[in-house]
Structure formats: C-alpha cells, structure tokens
C-alpha cells in the first residue's frame, strides 16, 4: 500500500505542467481525481445496494455478527474516498464569531486537502465505533426486549431437574430445554432450539408469543409450534423432524410465530422430549393474589431452583452484549483510534511546517501570536468536526438499516447509539489534532522572532 500511494502521488506530480507549478493558488482545485471519484461512488452504490438487497430478500442476515461487522466497511471507505467533495459544503456551515472565526471557516474551505486529511481518520474512528458497537448493542437490546415481551410471568424459577408444583394464587408452567432437527432444501439438516412444555394450558396463560397463524393452545403430543424461519410453516401441514433424542417424528404445525431476532425457537410437549429435565418454571400471579405471598410460597414449596422476578432473570440471561463480543469490538476500535492519533499528529505536524509564509503574513497583517494560534487550532477543530459529522451520518445509515430489518422481522426496534463512546473518540481526536497543529505553529518560526521583527521594521520605514 505504501508503494501504491507513493506511485500515485509521484505520477500526479509528474503530470503537473511547468506553468501550473509556477502558479500559486490559495484555493485547492482538482482535489478529487476521476479515479477516486469513480471508486468512491462505486463503493457507495455497492454499500447502499447491498443494504437494500438484504432488506428486501433476507433481513435476518443483517442481525448476524459477520454481517454488521463487515458491511459498514463499504460505506466507511466510500465516504472517506468522497470526503473532499463533502468537506467544503460542511465547513461552510460552521459559524464562529469574529474575524478569527471567519478566517478559520474560509481557510478550512479553501484548503480542502488539509481539511480532508484531518477529517478522514476521525470519520473512520467515529463510524467504526457507531456501527460496530451500535449494531451489537441494538441486536442485544432488541433480543432482551423480545424475551421480555414473550412472557406474562411475574416470577421465573431456574435450576436443574425442577419439580413443577401447585402454588395457591399462581399459574405455574414448566418447560425443558431441548432441540429439534429438520431437513430443509432436501439436504441441509437444521438444528432449532426448542422448549418442551409440561402443561399447554398453563403455558398459554403465562406466555405472550407473537403468533401470526394458528393457536398455541392447539399444541399437543402430535404437533409442534414453529416460526416463520422454517422452510415449511403452514398451519395444519405436517413436518418431518428428528427429536432431541434422535427419534424421527411427523408432527402437525399447530401455530406459527413471527420470526423475530431468531431466539424464539420451536415449542413441543414433554412427550416429544424424553429425558429432558425441566429447567424453568414460569409463574404467573392470578388476579387478586399477593405477589409477595406467591414468591414466599414458591421458595417454601421445594421446587429445587432459584426464584427470581422476571426482570432479574432477564437481566441475568439477556445482558446488553456478551463480554467477549464487546472486548473484540473494543480491540478493533482501539486499533482504529491509535491509527487516527498517529495519522492526525503526523499530518498536522507536516502540514503546519509548510505554512510558514502564510502564518507570517497573518502576523504582518496585525494578528497577534495568540490569534494566529487560535486560527490554526480552529482549522483543526473544524476538520475534526467534519469527520465526526460524516462518521455519525454513516452510523445513522447502518443503524437505520438494522432498525428497518428488525421491524420487518416483527422484533422490537430499540436502536442503541453509543453516544458516550462516539464523543470520547471525537474528543481524543480533537485533543490530538489541536495539540499537534498548535505545537507545529508555535515551533515553526518563533512568531515573535527576529525575521518577523525585521520585516515589520522594513515595512514601517518604507
């Protein structure tokens, strides 16, 4: 990549005519070569087209980790490639007070290459933070909300080999974890997580399943409840499955559930899950009963498990995101942030070192040292702001597509934007950019040094 970048820069410099080399321009022109423009537009079309295609054909794919960690890369690269086209209009929206503010804005608009070089690493860092962490949090919170919506239970008892009990004032529904296997497309054997219920009437009373066809109360030992993800999901039709113990069975579809986030699974009776021990009791409190008394009776009844409120059980079993997932995404983000820090400091130190004449001209025009440093710092801050705005825009597109996918799957839409993390990334970039530019300007020419003083004296005597 280093050789390719050097070759591209050398090739572009070699195509500059002598007249163009002798001409000095205050405003950057031709900042986006045709090849970069075509590449950026192609990547943008590919990113948006892929998002639209997945929404139209397979929205569940957008909820998978491999998808929401790779698909945003197309949009991030596209916007970074097209940044020089977007910098000038965005910088023009900045309104700062005083003559220094006007100078900051116009310098940022005129020096498109420098502003784009500052905005690009900020864009990548903010967009990665928003898309990766935001997507993971959105999927996790949607799954937790979906699990909360699936039950009317007031308490949940969990453990191994639980004993379903009768509790006055409560409806107790026991279920066991199992699995069923179904052959789809003639060859693929698909495993589907399932729950085996002990009492269908009690289960229907405490559950709040997203039924789109059929009735859960029709579930019996010769039927099954499936979701729309199954290849065959017509109520009344029979589907050939293999039960958790490997026995084949031909079961009638009693009800079909909405697809959701994919955590719903199937439901059978305990007759179709031999050997599966009851590991969960969902307890609903009947009208007029005292919840505290019901909880006390549950603990005294000897169920053999841990009694928790539904909210406590959900918090323990459906966290915001897994620790390993969060750690992996933070490692990726940390690498991007280190790259942004190195890129910003190197770019601004080199760019400021080439602005000696410009900064001395400001001093000769009457600007104080502090005003010149404020202008330099303001230009860097504008570049960081533009990059952060572009990063937030990419994040909005990614999370917006994810929210549409959740809506199509009849899952709760709970978009989670990690604003604190986005602000922290932008803040680190801002501190580094301003610090590097101000350090370079202060070191550049000793703005109050002898050369500037001699120039001012010559101008006065003339």
Q: At residue 24, does pLDDT exceed 50?
A: no
pLDDT at 99: 76
Q: Which tokens in the block code for residue 400?
A: 């917006």
Q: If pLDDT is split at 50, 70 and 90, which confidence band does 12 have?
A: low
Question: For the segment 180-229, what is each residue's pLDDT rounded down to a tens digit?
Answer: 999 887 777 888 899 999 999 999 999 998 899 999 999 999 999 999 88
Q: If pLDDT is split at 50, 70 and 90, which confidence band does 6 have?
A: low
What CA–CA distance (Å, rounded) separates 1 from 134? Answer: 30
Distances (CA, A) of 383 to 78, 79, 112, 193, 390: 18, 15, 10, 50, 11
Q: At residue 451, does pLDDT exceed 60?
A: no
Question: For the segment 85-124, what is each residue's pLDDT rounded down to a tens digit?
Answer: 888 888 888 887 877 778 888 888 888 888 888 999 999 9
Nearest-10 crossing angle of helices 112-128, 419-445: 150
pLDDT at 140: 85
Q: At residue 424, does pLDDT exceed 90?
A: yes
Provide, rounded to the nearest whole percent, the portion of the chain with pLDDT above 70.
Answer: 88
Give φ, ψ of 95 to 5 degrees.
-125, 110
With a CB cutoff of 8 Å and minimum separation 6, the contacts of 219 are 197, 200, 203, 225, 254, 255, 267, 268, 269
Q: Could you please report the per-residue DSSP string of 22-53? A: H---SS--S-S-HHHHHHHHHHHHHHHHHHHH
Long-range pairs for 34-42 at CB < 8 Å and ≥24 separation? 36/81, 37/82, 37/85, 39/81, 40/78, 40/79, 40/81, 40/82, 41/78, 41/82
C-beta atoms surrounding 356 within 10 Å: 14
Question: For the segment 391-404, what is each residue's pLDDT rounded down to a tens digit?
Answer: 999 999 999 999 99
Give φ, ψ of 297 to 5 degrees.
-65, -35
DSSP 8-state assignment for residue 327? H
pLDDT at 268: 95
pLDDT at 359: 76
């Amino acid at each position: 990549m280093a050789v390719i970048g050097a070759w591209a820069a050398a090739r572009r410099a070699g195509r500059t005519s002598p007249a163009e080399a002798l001409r000095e321009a205050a405003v950057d022109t031709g900042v986006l070569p045709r090849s970069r423009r075509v590449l950026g537009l192609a990547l943008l079309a590919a990113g948006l087209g892929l998002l639209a295609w997945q929404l139209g054909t397979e929205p569940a794919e957008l909820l998978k980790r491999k998808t929401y960690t790779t698909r945003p890369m197309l949009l991030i690269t596209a916007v970074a490639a097209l940044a020089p086209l977007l910098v000038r209009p965005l910088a023009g929206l900045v309104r700062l007070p005083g003559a220094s503010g006007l100078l900051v804005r116009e310098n940022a608009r005129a020096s498109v290459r420098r502003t784009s070089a500052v905005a690009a690493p900020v864009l990548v860092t903010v967009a990665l933070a928003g898309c990766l962490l935001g997507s993971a949090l959105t999927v996790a919170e949607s799954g937790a909300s979906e699990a909360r919506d699936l039950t009317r239970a007031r308490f949940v008892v969990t453990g191994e080999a639980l004993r379903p009990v009768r509790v006055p004032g409560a409806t107790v529904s026991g279920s066991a974890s199992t699995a069923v296997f179904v052959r789809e497309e003639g060859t693929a054997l698909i495993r589907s997580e399932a729950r085996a219920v002990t009492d269908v009437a009690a289960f229907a009373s405490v559950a709040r399943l997203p039924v789109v066809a059929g009735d859960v109360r029709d579930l019996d030992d010769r039927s099954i409840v499936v979701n729309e993800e199954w290849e065959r999901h017509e109520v009344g039709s029979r589907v050939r499955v293999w039960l958790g113990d490997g026995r084949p069975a031909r079961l009638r579809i009693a009800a079909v559930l909405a697809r959701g986030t994919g955590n719903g699974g199937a439901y059978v009776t305990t007759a179709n899950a031999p050997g599966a021990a009851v590991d969960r009791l969902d307890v609903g409190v009947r009208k007029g009963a005292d919840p505290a008394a019901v909880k006390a009776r549950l603990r005294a009844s000897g169920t053999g498990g841990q009694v928790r409120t539904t909210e406590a059980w959900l918090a323990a079993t459906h966290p915001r995101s897994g620790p390993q997932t969060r750690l992996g995404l933070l490692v990726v983000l940390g690498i991007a942030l280190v790259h942004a820090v190195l890129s910003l400091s190197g770019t601004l130190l080199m760019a400021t070192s080439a602005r000696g004449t410009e900064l001395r001209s400001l001093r000769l025009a009457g600007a104080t040292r502090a005003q010149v440093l404020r202008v330099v710092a303001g230009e860097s801050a504008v570049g960081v702001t533009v990059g952060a705005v572009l990063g937030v825009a990419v994040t909005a597109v990614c999370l917006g597509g994810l929210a549409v996918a959740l809506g199509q799957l009849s899952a709760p839409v709970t978009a989670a934007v990690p604003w604190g993390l986005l602000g922290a990334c932008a803040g680190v970039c801002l501190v580094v950019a301003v610090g590097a530019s101000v350090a370079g300007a202060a070191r550049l020419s000793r703005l109050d040094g002898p050369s500037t003083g001699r120039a001012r004296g010559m101008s006065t005597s003339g």
